[in-house]
Amino acid sequence: MLNLSKREQMIIVILVILVLIISLFNFMSKKFFKTDNYDEEALLEEIIDEKNQDEVEEQVEPKEIFVHISGQVHNPGIVKLEPGARVIDAVNLAGGLKKEADLDKINLAKRLEDEEKIYIPKVGEDIEVDMTDFQSAFGEVGKVNINTCSKEELLSLPGIGEVIADRIIKYREGNPFKRIEDIMNVSGIGEKKFEGIKDMITVH
């Protein structure tokens, strides 16, 4: 066994402690930077995935749409159409117009959206009666019912684009809006955007 002086023993102890401290520091540094890089990579992947999802939602179109047609047609009810179909197409699938139909109050060339409601009025029918038949789509007169309106009506609201309109429709399928403030539960609609549309929407 080496015969070391107290000074030499002290130096050896100090060196061992320094080696341990340096090793511990290196270990903690690697762990820290690894976690930091991982967080940055995870955040970047999340941003890319969300962007890709939005692009897919913008590009994907439904293969078919369903609209409800009633009033002066021979077979009122729900009809299935291809995207881009117009009112005249829905009328034809509903058996055509009755003789009493007022063509001056409808636009046969209007392009249809999924979940839309079409009402064909009778000649001489009071416009107020027409509006009650449109309650499922508009609720209060002049306001968009976010529970039943079509995608086209959602797009008419300021700040609502294709992606957010699709999110609203998807959200309400399982969670009907109980109050207009609930629309802020939809991703992409914050307080500022809600302030811009709150006077234009309803849930009744």
Domain boundary (82, 105, 126) is at 126
Q: Is the pLDDT of residue 166 over 60?
A: yes
Contact 160, 197 (CB under 8 A): yes
Within a domain: 121: yes
Q: Which is higher by pLDDT, 55 or 159? A: 159
**Quick one: pLDDT at residue 63?**
76
* Residue 70 DSSP symbol: E
**Structural domain tally of the chain?**
2
Within a domain: 27: no
Within a domain: 82: yes
CATH code, 66: 3.10.20
**Quick one: pLDDT band at residue 130, thresholds 50, 70, 90?**
very low
Residue with tokens 């797009």: 155
Please list, in sequence order, all residues whose beta carbon lies within 8 angstroms of the beta carbon of residue 67, skipping any fewer than 6 positions away. 78, 79, 81, 90, 112, 113, 114, 115, 116, 117, 118
**Quick one: pLDDT at residue 7?**
78
Q: What is the mean pLDDT of residues 137-164?
A: 79
Judgement on whether residues 138 and 167 belong to the same structural domain of the protein? yes
Parent domain of 140:
134-204
Within a domain: 19: no
- For the segment 11-44, what is each residue's pLDDT rounded down to a tens digit? 888 888 888 888 887 777 665 555 444 455 666 6
Give the number of residues written for the chain. 204
Contact 122, 72 (CB under 8 A): yes
Domain boundary (110, 126, 142) is at 126
**Quick one: pLDDT at residue 1?**
47
3-state secondary structure of 176: coil
* Residue 63 DSSP symbol: S
Within a domain: 178: yes
Within a domain: 36: no
Structure tokens, 172:
């309400």
Judgement on whether residues 119 and 142 belong to the same structural domain of the protein? no
- For the segment 174-195, what is each residue's pLDDT rounded down to a tens digit? 889 999 999 999 999 999 999 9
Judgement on whether residues 118 and 166 belong to the same structural domain of the protein? no
